[in-house]
Amino acid sequence: MKGARAGRRRLSRDERLAYMLLLPALGAVFVIVTIPFVLVIIQSISAEDGTLVGFRNYSRALANPLLYDAIRATGVYSLIVLPTEILLGLTFALLVHRTVRPQGLRAAIYVLAILPLVVPPVAIGVVGRLVYAPSYGVLNVILERIGFVHHEVNWLGDPTLAMLAVASVDIWQWTPFVYLVLFSGLQTVPRESVEAAQIDGADWWAQFRYIDLFYLRPLFLLIVFFRLADVLRVFDHVFILTGGGPGTTTQLLSLYMYRVEFKYFDSGQAAALAVLVLVSFSILYRLISRALPLERT
Amino acid sequence: MRGAVSRAILLRTALAVLALGTAGVLYGFPLYWLFVTSLKSKAELFASSVHLVPHNPTLAAYSSVLIERGFWVLLKNSVIVCFSTVVVTLVLGLLITYPITRLPVPPRLRVNILIWALSLRFLPPIAVVIPYFAIVRTLQIYDQPIALIGIYSLFNLPFAIWMLKGFLEEIPLELEDAALVDGANRWIAFWRVLLPLAAPGVMAAGIIVFTFAWSEFLFALILTATPNSQTFPVGVQGLVTQFEIIWNDMAASGVIAMTLPLVLMVIGRRYIVAGLTFGVIREK
């Protein structure tokens, strides 16, 4: 802006318009975001009857072994889901990029990959039930027909299997997302460098290691950011599929907090948990967002 | 030499087809099973063996869900809530993105708004819903659609801001300047020049926000109690967790829940990935 050097000049008409539009909108959003935050802090240091109790709710929340079960379950879930989705997504992106040439087929794969991304997680949970549930679950039916197992496997009743079942649903829904992001990243690899490498006799691994990976690297960060944000808030399909059980083995953090507030009606402890989660997530966000390849101007 | 190369290529293609085919079947089968189950009659569900193909396909489960159970009301609630969310989100989104892309604002302000919007993406809904629940009860809007519209708009605003910003930036400033020189005011230049050009992008953002709001379950579960405001996913959940599980009704409700997003996806497919990655990944 040429006029900007004039120092303490008056705002131009356009600038005034900009602030007139921004202030009410941002102000409203700011208030809507801030009020709950203030309320939850007050709630977290109060007892049920409204008297202030200091940090008692926090110490109760932190002393509850169920919290650590929930954190462990969330950790296990993330450690199963994130690497699997990234590896599978990468494999398929490379596979389609290198071997599928017809544009029509690529477009068809594209549409199929988009499909699970827009299906409501609740419906995905229903699909999971139809696959894993006892008596009608189709996985048992198929395994019995081909003689793989002889009596029903209780997929949702065994702690390890239940976690795997819940994770498999996430992998089913979100691997295509990783695929789509990495596939579109592969399209930006310049053809000349690939051809030059091929002339130099680079095999497919060398091509991937030294060329493709260079272009994909920023995208991995992006995928981890968005997937982590989603994985840490997972609720819907687990709620439908196992409800957190058996026991508390699939009770992820959000299911645990839901239970504290709406099943045990312990709103003091729930508020303390909410504050703890908000604070630790914003620290996590600070750490990750710095590395993101986003435009900063 | 040449034969060896083409054989290697053939082998690789065969392996690729095999891998993609397997993945396709693994992907498609659960959806096939959902659809097939929804077409079964109650009698067939109680048959001694499970049929992989329905013997007498019927739409009974759909009418049972929508009419006998009255779920069409929930469907109507969902449409009202989602549509209002789209309107509120787009208006707020444009109010924020128009100044930061078309008007002279300090670059720092612009970056801060964008980064702040991104940080909302990391906000865990369960931590927000606990205080929001208290507010909703104080305002006496518990079990009213407006409670959902408010929170959905807030949670979808970050997407809208990033997507709209991307679309508005692509439109050359000169086009509006030309209109301004011709004597139009800012509003007319926005309404007659900018908005028609940005319409496909705004539409796409609207479709994505609609789909996300349609899928939302946690807030709806907590903030609604009766068919007065319950959305469709809450109804689906009710069918799953009730004492006696009726597979065909449950499957039919699943199919209904995913139909509208899938139809919308066909229209907005080129923008879904852009939306999910805040416009960082752009499809051509």
Using the beta-carbon criterion (under 8 Å), do A274 and B98 form an inter-chain contact?
no
Joined together, the tokens standing for residue B185 give: 């005011």
**Residue pair B232/B74 in contact by the 8 Å Cβ criterion:** yes
What local confidence, expressed as pLDDT, does residue B85 receive? 97
Q: What is the DSSP letter of A55?
A: T
Amino acid identity of residue A122, one-letter, is V
Which among B135, B233, B264 has CB closest to A120? B233
Rounded-to-integer distance, Cα A169 and Cα A125, Å = 8
Rounded-to-integer distance, Cα A36 and Cα B8, Å = 62
What local confidence, expressed as pLDDT, does residue A257 receive? 94
Distance from CA of B37 to the nearest CA of A (A): 8
Residue spans of the domains in chain B: they are 61-276
What local confidence, expressed as pLDDT, does residue A2 receive? 42
* A296 within a domain of the structure (yes/no): no
Using the beta-carbon criterion (under 8 Å), do A95 and B186 form an inter-chain contact?
no
What local confidence, expressed as pLDDT, does residue B255 receive? 94
Q: Which residues of B touch A129 (CB under 8 A)?
A: 240, 250
Tell me the per-residue pLDDT of A69-111, one tens digit each, with 9 for 90 and over.
999 999 999 999 999 999 999 999 998 988 888 888 888 888 8
Write the CATH number for A107.
Answer: 1.10.3720.10
Q: Which residues of B touch A127 (CB under 8 A)?
A: 30-31, 33-34, 254
Residue B53: closest C-alpha in chain A: A138
Q: Which of residues 66-105 of B touch A (CB under 8 A)?
A: 92, 95-96, 98-100, 103-105
* A45 within a domain of the structure (yes/no): no
Tell me the per-residue pLDDT of A173-200, one tens digit each, with 9 for 90 and over.
999 999 999 998 898 888 888 888 888 8
What local confidence, expressed as pLDDT, does residue A7 receive? 47
Using the beta-carbon criterion (under 8 Å), do A278 and B113 form an inter-chain contact?
no
Whether the per-residue pLDDT at A1 is higher than 60: the answer is no
* A168 within a domain of the structure (yes/no): yes
Tell me the per-residue pLDDT of B74-94, one tens digit each, with 9 for 90 and over.
999 999 999 999 999 999 999
* A251 within a domain of the structure (yes/no): yes
For the residues A46-56, what does the mean pLDDT come to?
Answer: 84
Q: Which residues of B touch A120 (CB under 8 A)?
A: 214-215, 217, 233, 236, 257-258, 261
Rounded-to-integer distance, Cα B145 and Cα B220, Å = 9
Inform me whether the C-beta atom of residue A257 falls under 8 Å from chain B C-beta atoms: yes
For the residues A37-61, what does the mean pLDDT come to?
Answer: 88
Tell me the per-residue pLDDT of B191-235, one tens digit each, with 9 for 90 and over.
888 999 999 889 989 998 999 999 999 999 999 999 989 999 999
Using the beta-carbon criterion (under 8 Å), do A126 and B211 form an inter-chain contact?
no
Tell me the per-residue pLDDT of B154-199, one tens digit each, with 9 for 90 and over.
999 998 999 899 889 888 888 888 888 888 888 888 888 899 999 9
Rounded-to-integer distance, Cα A38 and Cα A33, Å = 9
Work out how many domains chain A is built from and give that number.
1
For the residues B70-75, what does the mean pLDDT come to?
Answer: 93
Rounded-to-integer distance, Cα A10 and Cα B158, Å = 32
Q: Which residues of A touch B280 (CB under 8 A)?
A: 222, 293-294
Tell me the per-residue pLDDT of B49-61, one tens digit each, with 9 for 90 and over.
778 888 888 898 9
What one-character-per-residue DSSP string does B139-196 give?
Answer: TT-TTSHHHHHHHHHHHHHHHHHHHHHHHHHTS-HHHHHHHHHTT--HHHIIIIIIHH
Q: Which residues of A touch B61 (CB under 8 A)?
A: none
Using the beta-carbon criterion (under 8 Å), do B103 and A254 form an inter-chain contact?
no
What mean pLDDT, rounded, does chain B reach? Answer: 87
Which among A12, A122, A278 has CB closest to B237? A122
Per-residue pLDDT band for B5 (boundaries 50, 70, 90) equals low
- Give ipTM to 2 decimals: 0.87
Using the beta-carbon criterion (under 8 Å), do B261 and A119 form an inter-chain contact?
yes
Q: Which residues of B touch A231 (CB under 8 A)?
A: none
Rounded-to-integer distance, Cα A109 and Cα A183, Å = 11
Q: Which residues of A touch B23 (CB under 8 A)?
A: 92
Which among A121, A127, A129 has CB closest to B217? A121
Residue A21: closest C-alpha in chain B: B95
Whether the per-residue pLDDT at B4 is higher than 80: the answer is no
Count the neighbouring beta carbons within 10 Å of the beta carbon of residue A95.
Answer: 19
Chain A with chain B: Cβ pairs closer than 8 A? 255
Distance from CA of A153 to the nearest CA of B (A): 16
Rounded-to-integer distance, Cα B211 and Cα A13, Å = 38
Whether the per-residue pLDDT at A24 is higher than 60: the answer is yes
Using the beta-carbon criterion (under 8 Å), do A131 and B30 form an inter-chain contact?
yes
Inform me whether the C-beta atom of residue B136 falls under 8 Å from chain A C-beta atoms: no
Using the beta-carbon criterion (under 8 Å), do A24 and B273 form an inter-chain contact?
no
Whether the per-residue pLDDT at B269 is higher than 60: the answer is yes
Q: Which residues of B touch A128 (CB under 8 A)?
A: 30
What one-character-per-residue DSSP string does A140-200 give?
Answer: HHHHHHTTS-SS---TTTSHHHHHHHHHHHHHHHHHHHHHHHHHHHHTTS-HHHHHHHHHT
Distance from CA of A37 to the nearest CA of B (A): 7
Q: Which of residues 156-195 of A touch B (CB under 8 A)?
A: 172, 177, 180-181, 184-185
Domain span at residue A74 reads 65-289
Q: Which residues of A touch B251 (CB under 8 A)?
A: 126, 130
What local confidence, expressed as pLDDT, does residue B2 receive? 55
- The residue whose two tokens read 């979808």 is B156
What local confidence, expressed as pLDDT, does residue A51 receive? 82
Tell me the per-residue pLDDT of B11-39, one tens digit each, with 9 for 90 and over.
877 888 888 888 888 888 999 999 999 99
What local confidence, expressed as pLDDT, does residue B94 receive? 94
Determine whether domain B61-276 maps to CATH 3.40.50.300.
no
Per-residue pLDDT band for A293 (boundaries 50, 70, 90) equals low
What local confidence, expressed as pLDDT, does residue A297 receive? 44
Distance from CA of A223 to the nearest CA of B (A): 8
* A76 within a domain of the structure (yes/no): yes
Whether the per-residue pLDDT at A238 is higher than 90: the answer is yes
What one-character-per-residue DSSP string does B238-253 give?
Answer: HHHHSSS--HHHHHHH
* A184 within a domain of the structure (yes/no): yes
3 state DSSP class of A52: strand
Q: Rounded to an integer, what is the distance from CA A157 to the centroid of its chain?
A: 25
Whether the per-residue pLDDT at B72 is higher than 90: the answer is yes
Q: pTM of this prediction?
A: 0.89
